[in-house]
Structure 1
């Protein structure tokens, strides 16, 4: 058996970048631990962002899988791989000073993403650009879309009621109409804007588009389906409940809505999105289907890890948290 100078068999992947990225990720979580705790609080406490941990795990799994199958050629690590970490860390510090949670959350995610090109080089990192950008969906952002979605839902619902020739009055997000029990008012609240399902559907749609389509146009078409369908479905649900109230009463209509609106509604919407998106998908080539997994080589020595690159990146990433501690007087007490 022929061995390469670093002890690996030719043609097998080098696992040093994989181990380096995992090591850096663990260190980054420790460095920004308060931010990750706050991220988990937002993910678990706000139903709109329940998809965040799933997106994070999926992106990490995809990155690790691709690092596991990197070609045997040694990665080209640039001397300035630490620079993005320094910039992001300064951004984290600025967000900490201004008490902007979303800025700190974004910085924590970007530090994870930046560790990959810092450990394997930009050419190899470009091959895994999708999971690196997919990580950004884990950032709990986008609440500013609630009001526009409320307005859009109200506009579409009123349009559907007009088509059904159901008499009604509208005042911004409130729709009034006569029911068998008298006048009823329906308000499209923030929870009814559909943002929860839109974000979750977008996360599923982007992943499905990446896996099931190859050409950019088809990927954009698949993604568009997973954006448009939940918006239209939410408007149809709102109009349907109002129309149902006109026929059977507001109380019974609301009872039906509460039974359907939730996971059942999301699964129906998701199924419809898949059905409409499948015609835009593409079959994998025989070469892709027949590709066999690369055998796992034995773990290399810790000496094979790019320790200088690891140290530079972690020092740069720790600048912001270190400045925050210094600002609080942890390192240099004022009294």
Structure 2
């Protein structure tokens, strides 16, 4: 008998630390093809890697050439990247093209990485937000429209084409070594801004645990939308204290705050929409994912914060 062929997976967002962790976990048991439209990434001689725009004609050639069994779409652009229109083209139109090609070429498994930001930060959020909660963030910030539209699009395909077996993951704050998002920049800074009078509850998931969660989702083709978060949380100011950050109170006057925070953290810019997340809690319920996929985070908050306490970046 001939040896069974390994499943062949297209993985997007190859330049990201999380994507590379997922690839490393899957490379022994799967044939991986990696793409990123921002830069060419070398992942070893065994993994073909392409710098290609999902909206360009050449992208379909990969589907023809490799005949993928599954797609793991981790290439969502963050709000700090590119202009709003280019981000919309990449996140929404690029995802639509990816899903259309997945349907056209008979893909049997699709995983899409979203974010808990789609729920929106509001004073009246419930204590634990489950997957049935409305996605309010598009009405609160134009910067999150592409994130919500990406999800709405994925949900349409989830029900229209059940054979794609689409799973949408909404993680809480992903942090840890190699993560280059705003939250990681805050936790690793010597001095971190806080909005005077506010210290909302927050959740953090270590990049190792998030990579494990994505691999578990790949291994068990269960359709649907799932929050991914540990069942513990901590007040933002307490998190900063445990990370050894000096807290700098800033008055929450909207036009001034993002510029002040960006200057303090030595960032190019600070996303305006994030301000609400430093005022109001957005605590998501990750029990459905844990139950369905047997997921249990291994890295506790103490370990996450110890990493940031011991690895301060110069400001």
The answer to whether the superposition gives a TM-score over 0.5 is: no
Q: 1 or 2, which has the higher strand percentage?
A: 2
Ranked by relative contact order (alpha carbons within 8 Å, sequence separation 6 or more), the top structure is 1
**Going by fraction, where is helix more abundant, 1 or 2?**
1
